Chains A and B, each alone.
Chain A
Amino acid sequence: MEAVRTNEIMAVAGARELRDGETVVVGLGLPQVACMLARRTHAPGLTSLLEIGVVNSNPIDTPVGLADSRIFHGATCWSGFLDILGMNLHRGVVDVGFLGSLEIDRHGNINTTLLKDEITPGQSKVKYFNGSAGGNDVASLAKRVIVIMRHEKRKLPAAVSHITSPGYVGGKSRADLGLRGGGPHRIITDMAVLGFHAETREAMIVSVHPGIRVEQVRENTGFPLIAAENIPETPLPTPEDLRLLREEIDPKRVYLG
């Protein structure tokens, strides 16, 4: 069998964070792939919600985005934002918010709005991206939040350029911040799985992917990462995981690369 790719390790690590019976609001890309894999393996009772108003879709062609009709296919319910983000997420019944991000910092604050290029000290040029859309709502209200993204020093800075979606802002607890949702739980990258320290609420290494050293992860992170003495390896995808990903879920490798 063909060698395991990083995106496949990420998708499988994402899937393993989801438990059977849970309700997940899922963003497009690897979060969607991870969710579909979980439903086909250990979590057949998982419910996936898309913010635009799609419940448990079963696409047979790979969609290019959340607005692509391909992702409406095989759904059990079509509604809208008011139902998904309102009467599910805001109501408090969403277990997991599964998101991508432009930047994420040591306290799990997410930026999807803008980046600042420092031209001269004190003077910066702003470049805009997609903004929040449902991201802030999901990060504010889901019981736990999982973020999946590339591991680069500039994407994991000590503090994000703009807090689009709050994590543990300033290291404070979610209750102190006035937020209902439980906050960031995992950051899944192409190098490691990160979690958050229970007291300091800072990002820490949970596992490193096979072939990656803890030092490498630290070198590619914009803040000091806490790590225990013995960091386990992220488990490799099983042959069945790989078969499902490659043959059924993303045969055109739109997301798996």
Chain B
Amino acid sequence: MANKLKSAAAVVRTIPDGAHIALGGFAIARNVITVAHELIRQNRQELTLSQCVMGLDTDLLVGAGCVNRLMVGGGSLDRFGLVQCVNRARETGEVESLDYTSLSICFSYLAGALGISFIPIKSMIASEVLERLERGGGAEYIRRMDCPFTGEPYVLLRAIQPDVSLVHVQVADEQGNCQIHGPRWENEEQAKAAHRIILIAEEIVPTSVFQAHPARTIIPAHRVEAVIHQPYGAHPTSVYSCYDYDSEHLKLYVERARTREGANQYIDEFIRGTRDHAEYLEKVGGAAMLEKLKADPVLGY
């Protein structure tokens, strides 16, 4: 069987400017930080990012000027704050933001994953979420229609099939089988809608682990193109059963990201100023800090 292990740098070299990338994180959980950092280091441009609920990874990529379009349901850093770089870019118009809802993004991925070109939904009706999409760049993704059977009004969502889906998981094997512990938000629909699936795994385990519990395999190997093995690859966001979010570092980020200058300074210092994720982890506190974030095996955080 093929060994699909690759470095983040090698994977990012295969992602062209202008690609549509679906990100697997949610607010401050399981963000694809290691690949987001590498996209910034390799200075990717004009990306489209999609996601149900944006988090730190999206905010960093937008702050670094890598993105020109978002297709998202919402976004926040939970009680740490707002996605300030994203909001600034929306306010100035630097980034075109197609603002959906969580379920409509998830349904659009589901349609993509099933290979159907559109899907009806009963939310967004009578809202300015729908009107803004129809007025702007969302027009090519949205229609209204009455059900041909019942006459009931629906919104039709065009399927989304991202070029690449990035999902941070707890365990994978070298072939690309993976398990996700804890809730999975839109990870499965999002990954299976994409043309290419890239996993970032905290731990690489033997295939026998999957054979022992096959029902727990969320994305099976035959769909997966590459696996990046990166412990603490989601830092400073959390990975259930592996480690907690880093409150101190998130506070530092939120404080810096209040201004464009501060965000740039953060990106230069922690991302462009480090060679890879290992150097980044050393810079933010190294082994001593990581040990403090390590999850209690019973609680999972």
Residues of chain A touching chain B, judged by Cβ–Cβ distance below 8 Å, are: 28, 50-54, 60-61, 64-70, 72-73, 78-82, 85-86, 89-90, 112-113, 125-137, 140-141, 162-166, 169, 177-180
Contacts and interface: CB of A to CB of B under 8 A. Distances in A.
B78 A179 contact: no
Contacts of A61: 299, 301
B106 to A, nearest CB: 4
A54 B90 contact: no
Contacts of B78: 28, 64-68
Interface stretch (B23-31, B33-41, B222-230): B23-31
A82 B244 contact: no
A69 B122 contact: no
A65 B80 CA distance: 9
A66 B27 contact: yes
A52 B244 CA distance: 18
B184 A79 contact: yes
B268 interface: no
A72 B74 contact: no
A254 to B, nearest CB: 8
B102 A162 contact: no
Contacts of B101: 132-137
Contacts of A52: 26, 53, 183, 185
B103 A81 contact: yes
B123 A141 contact: yes
B127 interface: yes
Interface in B38-52: 52
A126 B89 CA distance: 12
25 contacts: A28-B78, A64-B78, A67-B237, A68-B78, A68-B301, A69-B29, A69-B244, A72-B182, A78-B184, A81-B103, A81-B106, A86-B106, A125-B91, A126-B91, A131-B75, A132-B101, A133-B52, A133-B102, A135-B74, A136-B123, A136-B124, A141-B122, A163-B127, A165-B127, A179-B125
A241 B11 CA distance: 54
Interface stretch (B159-167, B186-194, B253-261, B274-282): B186-194
A231 to B, nearest CB: 31
A79 B186 CA distance: 9
Nearest to B122: A180
Interface string B114-132: 0000000111111111000
Contact of A73 (B75, B82, B237, B299): B299
Contact of A53 (B75, B124, B185): B185
Interface residues of B, number: 57
B102 A178 contact: no
Contacts of B75: 130-131, 133
A178 B153 contact: yes
Given A129-B82, A177-B125, A65 B27 contact: yes
Contacts of A130: 74-76, 82
List 10 A-B pairs, minimum CB-CB distance, nearest first. Answer: A65-B78, A133-B74, A53-B183, A131-B74, A67-B27, A69-B301, A178-B153, A67-B29, A128-B87, A140-B123
Q: Which of A50, A113, A137 has the most CB of B within 10 A?
A: A137
Nearest to B298: A73
Contact of A81 (B76, B80, B186, B237): B186
A165 B301 CA distance: 33
A131 B99 contact: yes
Contacts of B244: 69
B26 A169 contact: no
Given A52-B26, A81-B102, A134-B103, A90 B123 contact: yes
B79 to A, nearest CB: 4
Contacts of B126: 163, 166, 169, 177-179
A81 to B, nearest CB: 4
Q: Which of A61, A67, A80, A141 has the most CB of B within 10 A?
A: A67
A85 B184 contact: no
B301 A70 contact: yes
Contact of B238 (A67, A141, A180): A67
A64 B74 CA distance: 17
A254 B295 CA distance: 22
Given A65-B27, A113-B99, A130-B76, A80 B187 contact: yes
Given A66-B78, A69-B300, A80-B183, A137 B128 contact: no
B52 A132 contact: no
A164 B106 contact: no
